[in-house]
Structure 1
């Protein structure tokens, strides 16, 4: 790994702002179309459809027969940087937001009256952002993209009328890609692209307690997933340009820990028309302490000091209401407050996210006994983020303010058979 690219790999692996990541850090909450309308309040207790496989597998005991659920989340993000004293010449980067389309699919079936099986596929972490190539922070970031796919087979066991338990295994593929400019002194600048991928494995646990016929509580835990990414660094510069090809073009590896989460949810039928949902979710982003990037071209050593991270554990709070308009139509709303994992003093050009508020609306339509359609919409109000990053003097001072917002539209189809 060259000195030009090791901080860049850190950026793609350990950061993601709010452009497609809508929970703290670079987590994605968009795992259910029905939950979107409630800002995912009560997600570990509501057990409304097979998307409970992700939020709490114990909820499968509340779903009758076999069910197939598919959802698509359309995300439009906007973000602007306003320069306030940066030391590098260039523009402000333009709108570094983007469009994104995130799918989920879930299948659940009964094995016995008490034992249920399900499998879910989704994207629990991700980002995609791109600044103008000539922006003033081009030596820190131009394009960032992180993709994940999580395959999550699960089992649920109905212990008795009060208790249900669930367990699942996660097989998660992650791919990271980053481009940035590198300053080669008298030789000018070049573009450096870092890319790597890996499979990692984890598990999730859940329990639901039916306290009364109208009220239940859910707890859910998702374990950390260790990723050992392997890939390469590539640049147009070669030996012919006077720079050894092995300096800029080499295989690399890096370890990445995707954090564990713990959720406590409640769901209650208040009366014949109203339902109340609440949730608190804790995420252990402090897993990020340092990252070493290793070059694989024979030296097998880390170039430069390990980069120390300053991520904090965070909480997400949400509350939602459902109004049963008729036997076939349910109206939803929700509000959530989501802490950011990065303090102001440690923000970099790759991590301009900040605390955000979710305002959500949605509706369900049970248009046949076997089929249900859900639609959900959320607007994210994101707090302005200040940056004054001079941690890497060779890349220049980045000083200013970020402004951003996001809109999410979700559609979900559920079929019972």
Structure 2
């Protein structure tokens, strides 16, 4: 019984970390790598060269900068979640929670820093540090769906050296290598039969990390000075997450069993993305931008977790779909020192109704943004931006009558506000 007990709880906990990491990359893929770009909804991410954040937006754009510059900043995200009609039916008596308070996403600050250095009119180098993926959900201890997840914290940090070369007035290319590190923490309450008539909820915890390499490619085409096309490709990144698992319970302590520990491994792949954008200078003061992003999520069709002996712990279909996002925005140069920005973004989820989880209960989004850039002197610019995100109301249904975790259902409505600020200094 002891060995079966370990396999059951390990499978539940490790499956949770796999799903949360992957869902986070789709449902909560971070866009906060530029506050100047945030102001117009990142519509011109691959084509609008404003500052050193173009190192991330499109490495080919560095060679369009007139001098070296350093940009640092970040965005604070404040998320609000309402949960209605939450219901939980346990398979095992004495398990499951009773509350659904919502607002389980703590406020978080997402920083970034970029440096771009044109060597001459053709060649430029750059470097960036940023977060491409990350999320945190933290439910109350008595959450009705706590057997499916209570705490999910996943962070990916990337460092990117970059080079750009401009062939002529029309064409420029760029490439960057990314070093990526992922860290994850996941908690849940795992209902487990310890003996006939004796059930317990185990505090299951998984921590894991890995590091891997990827790359970015970009091209810019400017047929006339007023029109700029940009195309950026970001590679997939393959991780092999090594995790430590532990499960504890007062009932185990009373039985003299103590905490249970084990190891497990799983393969993660964050998908490749393609971004295309157009920047059109309409007048001396006004420019408009349009952007489209595509993420190849269709390669994520299942969760496959292997145990310490190489055995298959769990194998669950996910059936993700390729995801699109579209953005339109503009910038108006009100005075020689002040630029005003606005944009709207439509971001479509890769998840489906059957596989949506309490860990990342997201759906299609609409994002409305405004911003401004103030340049009091030629060497220094301050950018600020505000974004309001609203998601389509969605439902989560997990488990079933024969699932040892029980059955949970609830309706979710997510909203978020983003407050961004950045500083750019030109040398």
User: TM over 0.5, yes or no?
Assistant: yes
2:113 is the counterpart of 1:105 = yes
SS at match of 1:280: strand
The CA deviation string for residues 32-77 of structure 1, in whole angstroms up to 9 with x for no partner, is: 0101101100100001111111111001011122111001111101
Partner Cα distance (1:94, 1:220) in 2: 37
2:215 is the counterpart of 1:203 = yes
Aligned to 1:4: 9
Aligned to 1:68: 70
The CA deviation string for residues 350-406 of structure 1, in whole angstroms up to 9 with x for no partner, is: 231000100000000011110000001100011111122236721121122101100
Aligned to 2:376: 367
Partner Cα distance (1:336, 1:152) in 2: 26
2:141 is the counterpart of 1:133 = yes
Contact 1:229 1:254 in 2 (8 A): yes
Contact 2:220 2:231 in 1 (8 A): yes
* Number of aligned residue pairs: 410
SS at match of 2:126: strand
Contact 1:25 1:285 in 2 (8 A): no
Partner Cα distance (2:256, 2:130) in 1: 42
TM superposition shift of 1:242:
4.5
Partner Cα distance (2:135, 2:21) in 1: 6
RMSD over aligned Cα, in angstroms? 2.0
More strand by share: 2
Q: 1:159 to 1:244 in 2, by over 3 A?
A: farther
Aligned to 1:78: 80
Taking the TM superposition and a 5 Å limit, the aligned residue runs for 1:231-270 are 231-237=243-249, 242=255, 248-270=260-282
- Residue 119 of structure 1, aligned match among 121, 124, 127: 127
Partner Cα distance (2:274, 2:407) in 1: 37
Aligned to 2:3: none
Q: 1:83 to 1:112 in 2, by over 3 A?
A: same
The CA deviation string for residues 186-205 of structure 1, in whole angstroms up to 9 with x for no partner, is: 15222111010000111110
Taking the TM superposition and a 5 Å limit, the aligned residue runs for 1:297-376 are 299-303=309-313, 305-376=314-385
TM superposition shift of 1:15:
3.1
Aligned to 2:306: 294
Unaligned runs of 5+ in 2: 1-5, 91-96
- Residue 295 of structure 2, aligned match among 269, 283, 286: 283
Aligned to 1:147: 155
Aligned to 2:177: 169
The CA deviation string for residues 230-274 of structure 1, in whole angstroms up to 9 with x for no partner, is: 12001235986558679x311221110011100110001100221
2:28 is the counterpart of 1:41 = no
Contact 2:383 2:421 in 1 (8 A): yes
TM-score where L is the length of structure 2: 0.91
SS at match of 1:6: helix
Contact 1:56 1:206 in 2 (8 A): yes
Partner Cα distance (1:227, 1:114) in 2: 36
Contact 2:20 2:152 in 1 (8 A): no
Partner Cα distance (2:408, 2:204) in 1: 20
SS at match of 1:137: coil
SS at match of 2:7: coil
- Residue 180 of structure 1, aligned match among 174, 182, 188: 188
Aligned to 2:285: 273
Partner Cα distance (2:287, 2:36) in 1: 14
2:413 is the counterpart of 1:415 = no
Unaligned runs of 5+ in 1: none
Partner Cα distance (2:22, 2:360) in 1: 5
Partner Cα distance (1:283, 1:289) in 2: 14
Contact 2:150 2:359 in 1 (8 A): no
Aligned to 1:217: 229
TM superposition shift of 1:97:
2.1
SS at match of 1:401: strand
TM superposition shift of 1:94:
3.4
SS at match of 1:10: helix
TM superposition shift of 1:218:
0.4
TM-score where L is the length of structure 1: 0.93
Partner Cα distance (1:241, 1:294) in 2: 31
Partner Cα distance (1:413, 1:254) in 2: 40
TM superposition shift of 1:16:
6.6
Partner Cα distance (1:372, 1:139) in 2: 49
TM superposition shift of 1:93:
4.0
Partner Cα distance (2:348, 2:82) in 1: 20
